[in-house]
Amino acid sequence: MKLIHISDIHINSSTILGHDPVENFKRCLAHVEEFQADADRIVITGDLTHRGQEESYHLLKSLLAKSPLQGKLAPRLLIGNHDSRTTYAGVFDGAQRDANGFVQWTEETEAGLFVYIDTAEPGTHAGHYCAARRAWLTDVLESARQSDRPVWLFMHHNPIAVEVANADEIGIVQEAEFQAILRQYRDTVRHIFFGHCHFTLSGQVCGIPFSAPRSTNHACWPDFSGIVERMGYGALAPNYNVCFLGSTGTIIHSIDFLDAGKVLWVV
């Protein structure tokens, strides 16, 4: 199964750190449309907008409506810390939500069960996964285990500290509780896809591999000084990931879509 993983598009009416998020997202979509039309799913893991403004969600909705990426290729949208759950759901009236109103749901795919979770919390950039959300996820994972279905987990915030102070300051507050669920179901969860940090990441948490692309707009540079206020950014290539989900392994490719014009082909 071929999955396109996009994150942190930050749709906004003005530039962010010198970058135009709308133009960059358009170019990202255009690249996906041209080169990844054979994909099976597209998922955007949060920070759909920069300030959670209604006009930004309407703009995003218009961009997606004009795209040929429809049906199974219509991007699945998660929310992040820069989003407003209420405003998002008001504009995207078909948004799937659980019984408590969180933007989280499941989807059956040829690779197994895709589980989309909501780690946003109003008023903070830190991630939250409260008891109600953890109970929902535990039920989903237990059901998947009982039916022997592999799970692919999608979220906005990183599920583990990444040793970059600026990012870890706004990680998931209930990290220990969340990881306890991962340990319990590491035989069921095949991979975790997330965003939030704006730099390319891969690794494992509780025995489960993970990956994250950069932002499509303002990519960041990982800094290991331990200084919370320090954040590296600039003329760094944004990207998206092309992921191949198989029964024997998972392959992740990072596509620096703005650099496509620099590529020279032998054949």
Nearest to 247 by CA among 154, 150, 141, 143: 150
Residues 6+ apart with CB under 8 A from 71: none
- For 237, which DSSP code? P
- Distance separating alpha carbons of residues 250 and 204, to the nearest angstrom: 13
pLDDT value at residue 236: 96
**What tens-digit pLDDT sequence spans the chain (267 residues)?**
999 999 999 999 999 999 999 999 999 999 999 999 999 999 999 999 999 999 999 999 999 999 999 999 999 999 999 999 999 999 999 999 999 999 999 999 999 999 999 999 999 999 999 999 999 999 999 999 999 999 999 999 999 999 999 999 999 999 999 999 999 999 999 999 999 999 999 999 999 999 999 999 999 999 999 999 999 999 999 999 999 999 999 999 999 999 999 999 999
- For 244, which DSSP code? E
- For 60, which DSSP code? H
pLDDT value at residue 60: 98
pLDDT value at residue 10: 98
Per-residue CA distances from 120 to 46, 124, 232, 262 (Å): 9, 8, 24, 37
Sheet with 76-78: strands ordered across = 76-78, 41-45, 2-6, 240-245, 250-255
> Which residues is 152 bridged to in the sheet?
114, 191
pTM of the model: 0.97
Q: How many CB atoms sit inside 10 A of residue 68's CB?
A: 10
